[in-house]
Structure 1
Amino acid sequence: MERFERIYQLHHILSGRRTPIANRDLQEQLECSEITVKRLISLMRNHFAAPIVYNRQLNGYTYGNENGAHPYELPGLWFSADELWGLLTCHTLLSKLSQGIFGEHVIQLQKRVEKLLALDNTSAGRKLESVKILAMAARQKGINPLFNKIASALFDRRQLRLTYKARSDGETTERDVSPQTLVHYRDNWYLDAWCHLKNELRIFAVENIQTAARLDRPAKIIPRAELDTYFSSAYGIFSGKAEHLAKLKFTPERARWIKDEHWHSEQQGRWLDDSSYELAFPFGDHRELLMDILKHGRHVEVLEPAFLRQAVRDEIQEMKKIYRKDEIGIIE
């Protein structure tokens, strides 16, 4: 049994008793030696300021809540051992996000987790290093310094005045928005908001927000069900109604991976007679989907709809033009 699990159990034993418990009984319940019990008690007293007192007359330990004081609570240790080690991945994720979303608050939480993990007999640092999160396609060189202001307005339900440079056409506009949701998608941050300029829901890439001024006006709140319908019904980051159904056929070789992948919450998959795999899901804007299809190369075929199949064909033709120069060179 690991050390912090024993501390957790010792706290549970003492907080559930009104009378002292003997060292011998603690050894039995904690499955450890007499000296280990004494070390745990010393650790709790010194590390967590636990008011553990020894009653010599009754030859046992108890929590000393004198003068009607509030029962002692073990600070920060409301996790079991399994739950605490489950925080390992969360800790690593926090280290990736801490520069932006909650700053110093997240850093303090990380330190608290590390402090608890350090109670284990083995190296917490080594275990933390055993979990790796690989970032891919992150566009930010660093978190937008306006991030905290955006998050604050979102949480306080206030409007923002943004200066935004669209990546699609390079145009810069100023607009008032009502923040709805911050989204971390493919290692980049996006803001779902009601745009008062366009009078509709829009998505803003956080790294493209150049200025953000908090306004003294309450934000327009869109019901969560409506947000989910607008932002989550279609494929990928692009919003809007999912008006099309994509049907993709993957080769038997690639199917072994695709059958377990999550592409969309409403996806449907089935095996075909030739051991290939058909995947179907709704989508609206096809741009992101086109990129995801192309990365599978010859291992995927678009069955439906016809315009998506044509878009893939057109892209392949344009790609061939690039490499056709090599063929001409060989002929010459």
Structure 2
Amino acid sequence: MNRTDRLYAIVEELRAVAPRLKTARELAARHGVSVRTVERDISALQQSGVPIYADVGRRGGYALEKSMSLPPLNFTASEVVALGVAVARAGDGPFAAAGRSALRKILAAMSRQNADAAERLAQRVHIMEGPEAIAPMPIPPEVEQAVVARRVLRIEYLDAAGVLSERAVEPVALLHGINGWYLVAWCRLRDEPRNFRLDRMKAIELTEWTGPERTIDMCRPAEPVHEIRMISLG
């Protein structure tokens, strides 16, 4: 464990037991360092503004003022949803539970406004799971921006029949399927909802137009699917 990780871990330990005390010896044993190292860590945390106080004496130790908290984390909604996607795709793999726990801690430390924005954005990102999922191509930044801000996209799209067409689409959600990532959008050319495979988009232009709020039934995919589930930040 490096020093930065140890500093965060010490704060979390003190937060968990507050207002009870933890001695320097207990913290040192927990992190496999010397008592002197713990004392230097506590001093560094105090100097950075973390509300840790010391109670001297035979039964003394360190405690974190429970009524106080660290400043809100300055994560954007997109950054938190990106973490949510990574955690969701981890499934039952290594550290999946730790990832969900970390995400909850991040949300708890964020401002209420930013956390609410992240929750709303997460409702617009979905994962569709099938038996033979392939590695998806990277999502173009124009598509990400369009989903976040409901900006209309102009695309050149090659359909399953090999026909290339120009479309203006209103992004609604991202969907992960057995052929990679899809953009679920309202197609102005067809005047109906469509799923567009990202690897079939041959040109993408982010426009200045903002599309209306739309709700599309995510339970009717255009291909076989075992399960559709939303990204959860809870």
TM-score (norm 2): 0.52
* 1:188-215 Cα deviation digits (max 9, x unpaired): 0001110001111111000111111122
1:149 maps to what in 2?
Answer: 142
Q: Of the candidates 202, 207, 210, which is equivalent to residue 218 of structure 1? A: 210
Give aligned pairs, total: 169
Query: Offset of 1:143 from its aligned partner?
Result: 2.0
| Pairing 1:102-113 to 2, within 5 Å after superposition | none
Which one has the bigger helix percentage? 1
* 1:169-196 Cα deviation digits (max 9, x unpaired): 1111111110011111126000111000
Distance in 2 (CA, whole Å) between partners of 1:22 and 1:182 is 46
Query: Offset of 1:43 from its aligned partner?
Result: 4.1
Q: Which amino acid aligns with 2:146?
A: A
Distance in 2 (CA, whole Å) between partners of 1:150 and 1:174 is 16
Assess, with a 3 A threshold, how the Cα gap between structure 1 residues 178 and 45 changes in structure 2: closer, same or farther.
farther
Distance in 1 (CA, whole Å) between partners of 2:207 and 2:22 is 63
| Pairing 1:66-81 to 2, within 5 Å after superposition | 71-73=68-70
* 1:51-98 Cα deviation digits (max 9, x unpaired): 534344794434589xxxx9342988xxxxxxxxxx9x839849xxxx
Distance in 1 (CA, whole Å) between partners of 2:16 and 2:71 is 9
Matched, 1:263 2:226: yes
Assess, with a 3 A threshold, how the Cα gap between structure 1 residues 10 and 74 changes in structure 2: closer, same or farther.
farther
Structure 2 gap segments, 5+ residues each: 1-5, 74-83, 92-101, 107-130, 229-234
Distance in 1 (CA, whole Å) between partners of 2:22 and 2:208 is 62
Q: The residue matched to 2:144 in structure 1 has which SS?
A: helix
Distance in 2 (CA, whole Å) between partners of 1:22 and 1:200 is 62
Q: Which amino acid aligns with 1:152?
A: Q
Query: Offset of 1:151 from its aligned partner?
Result: 1.2
Q: Which amino acid aligns with 2:219?
A: S
Higher relative contact order (CA 8 A, sep 6+): 2
Matched, 1:12 2:8: no
Q: Which amino acid aligns with 1:174?
A: E
Distance in 1 (CA, whole Å) between partners of 2:62 and 2:10 is 15
Assess, with a 3 A threshold, how the Cα gap between structure 1 residues 187 and 44 changes in structure 2: closer, same or farther.
farther
Query: Offset of 1:222 from its aligned partner?
Result: 1.8
Larger Cα-atom Rg:
1
Matched, 1:194 2:174: no
Distance in 1 (CA, whole Å) between partners of 2:175 and 2:208 is 24
| Pairing 1:74-93 to 2, within 5 Å after superposition | 90=87, 93=90
Matched, 1:138 2:134: yes
Distance in 2 (CA, whole Å) between partners of 1:61 and 1:171 is 69
Distance in 2 (CA, whole Å) between partners of 1:172 and 1:75 is 48
**What is the identity percentage for the equivalent residue pairs of Structure 1 and Structure 2?**
20
Assess, with a 3 A threshold, how the Cα gap between structure 1 residues 201 and 186 changes in structure 2: closer, same or farther.
same
> What root-mean-square deviation, in Å, do the aligned CA atoms of Structure 1 and Structure 2 show?
4.7
Structure 1 gap segments, 5+ residues each: 77-86, 95-108, 114-134, 240-261, 266-332
Q: Of the candidates 163, 166, 178, which is equivalent to residue 174 of structure 1? A: 166
Q: Is this contact kept in 1: 2:11–2:64, CA < 8 A? A: no
TM-score (norm 1): 0.39
1:54 maps to what in 2?
Answer: 54
Q: Is this contact kept in 2: 1:194–1:220, CA < 8 A? A: no
